[in-house]
Structure 1
Amino acid sequence: MRAGELIEAFWRTANARDWDGFGRLLHDEVIYEVPQTRERLRGRANYVEFNQTYPGNWTATVTELFDQGAKGMSVVDFRVDDAAETGISLFEMRDGLIARITDWWPTPYDPPQRKTDKIERY
Structure 2
Amino acid sequence: MALISVDRERGLLTVEFQGLDKLWTLKSRLEIPLAHVRGATHDPGMAREPKGIRVAGTHFPGYITAGRFRQGGERLFWDVKNPDKAVVVALADGGTYDRLVIEVDDPRATVALIERSIERG
Both proteins in one fold, TM over 0.5: no
What's the TM-score, normalizing by structure 2? Answer: 0.29
What's the TM-score, normalizing by structure 1? Answer: 0.29
